Amino acid sequence: MEIWINPACSKCRSALTLLDAEGAEYTVRRYLEDVPGEAEIRAVLDRLGLEPWDITRTQEAAAKELGLKDWPRDAESRDRWIAALAGHPKLIQRPIITADDGTALVARSEEAVREALSHSKR
């Protein structure tokens, strides 16, 4: 499994602590440094079963500068949202765990991290 983190994020650090405590095997991706491209964001959204606006941190400065709160949330606007996430990775909600079975979760709670663990090999 892989976990996308921002090391400055307390939810990310909590998720890593829990994964370590459970002896999970995982790869850390510092997505602010190793920025996912649009195709990768699309793939993760498919695994999450979510739309790009569902994983967008709309309170970030970049979101306000882009005026994201006023962007349509529809199929025609999907590519625009994905481009914004790829161009401004700080907008991506975190942590995101991609599990071994092909699923993914936004793991902001202990319950979500445990669910990701249940979808992955130990």
Q: What amino acid positions are annotated as catalytic residues?
A: 9
What are the structure tokens assigned to 113, written together?
């991290």
Q: Measuring CA to CA, which residue among 9, 5, 7 is closest to residue 27?
A: 5
49/44 Cα distance (integer angstroms): 8
Q: Are strands 2-5 and 27-30 parallel, antiparallel or unpaired?
A: parallel
